[in-house]
Structures are given as C-alpha cells and as structure tokens.
Amino acid sequence: MVKVVIHPQSIVHSMIRLRNGVLYAQLSKPDMRHPISDALFWPDTAPVNPDVLNFDSLTLEFEKPDVEKFPMLNLALKAAGYGGHYPCAYNAANEEAVAAFLKEKIKFTDIPKITAHVLKADWTANVSSLEAVLEADTRARSRAVSYT
C-alpha cells in the first residue's frame, strides 16, 4: 500500500514500512541529487554532494495531503487502487495534458480534468503483456489529446 504525506522540510525522500512495523527512511539535504543518484547507481553508491545532513537542529514534520488542492494525487491513488491498466492510463493522460499545457493549449487546472476524463474509460483489463500496456498507453494518449 502506498501512503502519501507532505513533508515541508523535504529531508525525507522516501520511507518503507516492513510487515513487522519497522520503518526505514532515506534522508538527505533537500536536494534530489542524492535520491536520483541512489536510483541510478543502485546497488552501488556514487558521491554526489559533500554536504551531509546535520542532525543537531533537525526538525521533521509530516502532514496529510490536501487532495482538493492536489487533485492529481487523488486521481493517482484511485488509479493505483483500481489496478489493471488504470495506472498506465493515468500516466499517459498526465503526460499528454502536461505537454498541452506547456504548449499553452490548456490551462494548468485542466490537467486533472483531462486525466479524470481519460480514467472514466474502462482500463480494467489485466496487464498481460508489454504489448497490452503499450496499446493502453496509446489509447489513453489518444483519448487525452482528443479532449484538449
């Protein structure tokens, strides 16, 4: 299960809770170079930035996200929960909507509207092959573009 929290200090980049309740977190300065480097060089590590996190005055706060303020988060959670090709359709619709926004064809607030429109289609088919995923991606992109 994925749970999202808002962390204003941007120090905790990810957390995972094991079945036994233990929580592991990836912490670094508020800079995405460390998490991205870790992902790219896994299982090895590469030096990124000599600045290390200072725990002397560290404060960590977490808040529940406001899904009204961030409608794409709510759509992402729903798509993940529905399963099938919904996450693929969400991603494709979001990418096409963002592209349309960057070309100034739509307003920023239209991105979740387009994504929601795409997700109204039936994406329940099982993810059976790469070809099926690519077909769902193409269909979702087409549906998003036709809505813009």
Of 124, 53, 44, the residue nearest 82 (C-alpha): 124
* Tens digit of each residue's pLDDT (9 = 90 or more) over 1-39: 778 899 999 999 889 999 999 999 988 888 888 788 888
- Domain limits at 102? 71-147
Same domain, 121 and 92: yes
Same domain, 58 and 89: no
Residues 6+ apart with CB under 8 A from 12: 25, 26, 27, 60, 62
Same domain, 136 and 75: yes
Residue 9 is predicted with a pLDDT of 93
More confident position, 91 or 54: 91
Same domain, 7 and 53: yes
Type of residue found at 17: R
* Tens digit of each residue's pLDDT (9 = 90 or more) over 59-73: 999 999 998 899 999
Same domain, 56 and 84: no
Task: Please provide the DSSP assignment of 112-140 as one string.
Answer: HHHHHHHHTS---S----HHHHHHHHHHH
Point out the domain boundary residue: 21, 46, 64.
64
User: What is the SS3 assignment for 70?
Assistant: coil
User: What is the SS3 assignment for 75?
Assistant: helix
Contact predicate 137/92, CB 8 Å: yes
Global pTM value: 0.74
Cα–Cα distance between 13 and 28 in angstroms, integer? 7
Same domain, 53 and 38: yes
Same domain, 37 and 84: no
Give percent above pLDDT 90 in the chain.
Answer: 70
Count of the separate structural domains present in the chain? 2
Point out the domain boundary residue: 46, 64, 82.
64
More confident position, 82 or 31: 82
Same domain, 75 and 133: yes
Same domain, 117 and 101: yes
* Tens digit of each residue's pLDDT (9 = 90 or more) over 99-144: 999 999 999 999 999 999 999 999 999 999 999 999 999 999 999 9
Point out the domain boundary residue: 27, 46, 64.
64
Residue 50 is predicted with a pLDDT of 63
